[in-house]
Amino acid sequence: SQSCASLDYTKGSLACGAKCILDSSACGCAAKAYVTQNASGSYSCYQSSDSRWISKLEGAKVTFEYESNGSCVKTVEDCYESRTCKCSNGDCQCTKSGSCSEGSTGCNYGYCTLKYHCPSGTYTSDELDNFVGSSDTSSDTSSDTSSDTSSDTSGNSSAIKSITWDCGSLKYQADGSDGWTITWSNDDNQYTAWGDGLGFKESGDKKSLGVSKVSGSSASSFTGTDLWTGYGKGSIVSVSGILYMWVCEGDPGNEVNWSGWECAKHSRLYKSTDKGKSWSKASWNFTRTDNGILTPSFLQAGKDNTSAKDNYVYSYSIDDKYGNSYTLPNPGKVDLMRVNKNNIMNSPYQYFAGLDSNNNPSWTSDITKRKSVITNSNEGLGWTVSAIYYPPIDRYILITEHTTSHAGNLIVYDAPNPWGPWTIVEKNTNWCGFSTVMGGYIAPKWINGNNFTFVFSGPKTYDRWNTVTGTFETY
């Protein structure tokens, strides 16, 4: 271990692989922490999951030194720090600890965003683990280009620089219902599938699964109308004026318990030709313990699927045969399957089977030969997945969880094709300070250039329809 004083280092003075594990007797820091030193010379301690980072504050200037996976690669940048507090009523400011003060009238759902402004770009505090900086010509300039040091998916997005979340724009209703997968149909309405609640009515008996119509031009001005209820959990899409829904089902005859992991035993297609008022079922289904298909989710491709680039409808799913809790499958794998848009209710589907010698996707009808499009070997992924084609930037966006479920651990990927190659845009812990969020969906109708509305939910406080707005910053 090292004392706080020994961390008053000069550039390049640390030996390769040195760990910043502080001596708690010297400065009161817990193990595996990093320090900042303010202008007066005193130190503050911060917890860090990655002991390779050391930061030293000199007035407003922060110097980061990064040692890449023990390879002795060091890059240094001088960065300036800024804090912005987002609050639903606008009456708050950031404290030195990074929290939001209440202000004179209180601060509902306040969240303080810390950013570092560096020569190579602007980084949030969550992105420091991905920081590679600008080259230090006095050192070996080769570096690990992985956008997530614990992921098998390498590379940073070439299209999206960052996402700005307006966490203070939070709006909510439909208390007690979660899920809220959402699609945009040819009648210009959006349709959403929810579960374990009362829907927008917020009255009556709790339902396992529901479908509702969302009419309106924005999250600030819409009407939610409940249409149908059933059993299970659903992911919905509109194609050629018809609604389709993946429904995870439990054992037949035990419909009352079709919730949580019980409902993940089977995944079956449903179809509605009357805009969600009634549904018919496919005669076949995926069985999780046989093939590992867990809660498939449709790729959204614009209004009524009209932004699709080919004649296929794509679905993503977590690959997990035996999980029986909300512990994320580890290694985390996301699989991809597709079907012709004129044959959605019929099997067999085609499954992604890897890339050929020309980097073109290959497909198989043998589910046992499928390959994952995203793999995370150390943290896990899942258990919900959302995917959308985002026309203004011509990218596919996929959002899921990492490390721990129901903890705001959202990870955002992007790709030029439905099968990839997928790169990480950002990886969050306790996203927006909404500590129990388990996933969400970009509302396809409410996209305006690089600005979008994100619909999300989670247990406890966020067990409801929630929305915030976000903006993609592109290169």
pLDDT tens readout for residues 363-374: 999 999 999 999
Res 443 pLDDT > 70: yes
pLDDT of 249: 80
Res 131 pLDDT > 60: no
More confident: 202 or 191: 191
Q: In the β-sheet with 190-197, what is the strand arrangement from edge to edge?
A: 178-184, 190-197, 207-218, 221-230
Q: What is the pLDDT of residues 30-41, one digit of tens each?
A: 333 333 333 333
Least confident span in 141-155, 156-170, 189-203, 300-314:
141-155
Q: What is the pLDDT of residues 264-282, one digit of tens each?
A: 677 899 999 999 999 999 9
Q: What is the pLDDT of residues 391-419, one digit of tens each?
A: 999 999 999 998 888 888 899 999 999 99
Q: Which of 26-35, 131-140, 142-151, 466-475 has the highest average model confidence (pLDDT)?
A: 466-475
Res 92 pLDDT > 90: no
What is the average pLDDT across 462-472? 95
CA-angle at 406, arms to 325 and 258, nearest 5°: 50
Res 154 pLDDT > 70: no
pLDDT of 113: 56
Length of the chain: 475
What band does 203 get if pLDDT is binned at 50, 70 and 90?
Answer: confident
Cis before 348? omega within 30: yes
CA-angle at 436, arms to 435 and 438, nearest 5°: 125
pLDDT of 156: 77
What band does 290 get if pLDDT is binned at 50, 70 and 90?
Answer: low
In the chain, what is the straight-line distance between the N-terminal and C-terminal CA atoms, in Å?
Answer: 42
Mean pLDDT for all residues in the chain: 73
- Is the pTM for the entire model greater than 0.85? no
Q: What is the pLDDT of residues 226-251, one digit of tens each?
A: 999 998 889 999 999 999 999 988 65
More confident: 331 or 128: 331
pLDDT of 260: 52
Res 64 pLDDT > 60: no
pLDDT of 192: 98
pLDDT of 116: 57
Cis before 246? omega within 30: no
Q: What is the pLDDT of residues 294-350, one digit of tens each?
A: 789 999 999 999 999 999 999 999 887 545 555 677 778 899 999 999 999 997 899
pLDDT of 45: 38
pLDDT of 410: 92
